[in-house]
Amino acid sequence: MVHFSTGFHFIEPGGRVSELRRGSLPAPLHFAGSFLQLKFLGLMDKLAVVRALLAIRSEHDSRKDLDRISMLDWLREKRQTKAAIERFWRQVLVSAINEELDRMAAAHAFQVFRLGFLARSDSYEMGIPTVPLAELYGADVWRRFDRVRIHLRSPVESIDLSGGVKLAEGGSTKADFVIICLPPERIPSVAPGLGIDTGWVEYSPITGIHLWFDRPITDLPHATLLDRTLQWMFNKGGGRYLQLVVSASRSLSNMPKRELIDLALRELPEFFPAAAEAKLLRSHVIKEIRATLSARPGVEELRPGPVTRGGSIFLAGDWTRSGWPPTMEGAVRSGYIAAEAVSQAAGKPRKFLIPDLA
């Protein structure tokens, strides 16, 4: 159901492809061979990247200001070349954290490279679902667990400090413990007694452009696209159905969908020449305006932990403090952390959080 890719393809306008893949050396040298052969970076660019990667290893525990400065400030401090910033650091980090380098806390960027690129030789592998997400996380999956009940179309109107839950459709229930996994802007109205401040929350958008063609455009499973608006391509169906992704896509938020499709059709042939002759059969655009919390400098200290003033009420979600950036991975970790807090409150402490790779 999830396929793990072991190589990343970088494509320049004009169609030249470079691949980053681990070799036989142990971490953190496992990328040395393919990194040195990357065509889209020059020698000085590569030396700058290596210098910065070494600095990440040495500074991630020693520097105390990484939550307060942007990653762009840190990269400039490390004298990174323009090409290294735009073609390597930005290409990887904007997609991973869904925020621009000048709006991204350096601490989150450090974590992506320290754990994803340097910790282990296989930690960089990207898992891509081979089935719709509904099949991975839908209600049918949870029915395998006897003690889990999913109540669909049962919105909660309010939660009081004692664990009383009032349903919008009428009726109420009392829970020993409640974990609230709502978007942050809904917390004050659903659980006002918690006094949770969400005024600091700011989001970063993601735009997905789905294109169906009458013929295959590429046989690559996925690729990162350099120097253009489009950032990633995912091959969703034999090269005929492509999903194009633009992270931190504020500049596209107000663009009409027809213009977004036209933009994609202009840029795509620069990377995949077959797209110039292909006929577009169908298209679809998805704008996720509130895709993720903006991981800007200073936000980490504002993210709440799982414990609230209501002793039986806990918080989870990508926007809470999980030790990771506010992404899907951070959301999963927050669930483990909340479960640990509940077990502690119940007098039966347990550990659920999976240790980091390093």
pLDDT in tens, the chain (358 residues): 788 888 999 999 999 999 999 999 998 899 999 999 999 999 999 999 999 999 999 999 899 999 999 999 999 999 999 999 999 999 999 999 999 999 999 999 999 999 988 888 888 888 888 887 778 877 788 888 888 888 888 889 999 998 899 988 888 889 999 999 999 999 999 999 999 999 999 999 999 999 999 999 999 999 999 999 999 999 998 999 999 999 999 999 999 999 999 999 999 999 999 999 999 999 999 999 999 999 999 999 999 999 999 889 999 999 999 999 998 889 999 999 999 999 999 999 999 998 886 6
Reduce the DSSP state of residue 126 to 3 states and report it: strand
Distance from C-alpha of 10 to C-alpha of 39, rounded to nearest angstrom: 9
Measured CA to CA, the distance from residue 113 to residue 107 in angstroms comes to 10
φ, ψ for residue 8, nearest 5 deg: -115, 130
pTM of the model: 0.91
Alpha-carbon distance of 145 to 93, in angstroms, equals: 37
Query: How far is residue 297's CA from residue 103's CA, in Å, rounded to a whole number?
Result: 7
Tell me the CA distances in angstroms from 11 to 55, 91, 167, 343, one per residue in order: 27, 11, 51, 48
Q: DSSP letter at 355?
A: P
Tell me if 246 sits within 8 A of 229, measured CB to CB: yes
Long-range contact set of residues 92-96: C-beta below 8 Å, sequence gap at least 24: 92/224, 94/231, 94/247, 94/248, 95/224, 95/231, 95/232, 95/245, 95/247, 96/325, 96/327
pLDDT of residue 338: 97
Please report the pLDDT score of residue 358 as a whole number: 64
Alpha helices, H only, the chain: 32-36, 43-59, 71-77, 82-83, 90-97, 106-113, 133-137, 139-142, 187-190, 257-271, 328-345
Q: How many CB atoms lie within 10 A of CB 77?
A: 12
**From its phi and psi, is residue 171 left (phi > 0), alpha (psi between -120 and 50) or beta?**
left
CA 6 to chain centre: 18
Quote the longest CA-to-CA distance of the chain.
67
- DSSP code for 195: -
Confirm if 288 and 202 have CB atoms less than 8 A apart: no
Please answer whether residues 100 and 93 qualify as being in contact, where contact means their C-beta atoms are separated by less than 8 angstroms: no
